[in-house]
Chains A and B, each alone.
Chain A
Amino acid sequence: GAGVSQSPSNKVTEKGKDVELRCDPISGHTALYWYRQSLGQGLEFLIYFQGNSAPDKSGLPSDRFSAERTGGSVSTLTIQRTQQEDSAVYLCASSPNTGWGEAFFGQGTRLTVV
């Protein structure tokens, strides 16, 4: 597709369950980002992938959060043992260049932990 695609668009899960969120970046974009946006809050950086380099995981809030990017394209963000405070919109973005240029966002996955 032409843009960044995220799935699912909405996810409701029970506290303690694991969830996986998927991101398909724009074709040819080498950089991929995950951000989190809680209700009424700004965008919080989670993790960054660039080509085959080691990801920048400095924004992951706990070891329950992990992400991988397979083949330099699709990425999956996994949250284990979900907690209510994990409820937020998870946004994925991609960018064609390392360290420069704008990033293009998907529509996000709204995660609700009940």
Chain B
Amino acid sequence: EDQVTQSPEALRLQEGESSSLNCSYTVSGLRGLFWYRQDPGKGPEFLFTLYSAGEEKEKERLKATLTKKESFLHITAPKPEDSATYLCAVRAVSLPGGGNKLTFGTGTQLKVEL
């Protein structure tokens, strides 16, 4: 069954403690994998788009990578302001809507403490 799965569900880090979030997908005809950040009470904020295996994107302390089966969001030396829920979404031909809509994982809730 086609799906998008994120792990872990929740992650608690100390400030400066680097880690990675995972988004695994089982689809065919990938048309893009997207990472979003969502703060409480707000809409998802777009971070990155990845289209093909081997692609990488970076922004400040965040780096997103993509393989044929999964994507990682690496967080280097996180700060408390990086605390948020990180969402992964996929467009794929094999998913309902044929790539016309984004299918989301359930997210990873990240808490960075001092």
Chain A residues in the interface with B (C-beta under 8 A): 4, 6, 31, 33, 35, 41-43, 45, 48, 50, 56, 58, 91, 93, 98-108, 110
17 additional A-B residue pairs with CB within 8 Å, beyond A102-B32, A103-B34: A42-B107, A45-B102, A50-B100, A56-B100, A91-B43, A91-B44, A93-B43, A93-B102, A99-B91, A99-B98, A100-B32, A100-B99, A102-B46, A103-B46, A105-B43, A105-B44, A108-B42
Residue ID in chain A nearest B44 by CB atoms: A105
B14-51 contacts to A, CB under 8 A, are 31-32, 34, 36, 41-46, 49
Minimum CB distance partner of B104 in chain A: A43
Which 9 pairs of residues, A with B, have the shortest CB-CB distance? A105-B43, A42-B106, A43-B104, A99-B99, A105-B44, A107-B43, A108-B43, A102-B49, A48-B101
In angstroms, Cα B32 to Cα A50, docked, is 18
List chain A residues, Cβ under 8 A from B36: 105
Tally inter-chain residue pairs, CB-CB below 8 A: 65
Question: How far, in angstroms, from A107 to B40 measured CA to CA in the complex?
Answer: 10
Instruction: State the B residues within 8 Å of A (CB).
Output: 31-32, 34, 36, 41-46, 49, 87, 89, 91, 96-107
With A42-B107, A56-B97, A58-B96 as given contacts, are A103 and B43 in contact (CB-CB < 8 Å)? no
- Distance to closest chain A CB from B70 (angstroms): 18
Q: Of the candidates B46, B98, B106, B107, which one forms a contact with A104 in the assembled complex, judged by CB atoms under 8 Å apart?
A: B46
Contacts A91-B44, A100-B91; A45 near B103 (Cβ below 8 A): yes
Do B91 and A33 have beta carbons less than 8 Å apart? no
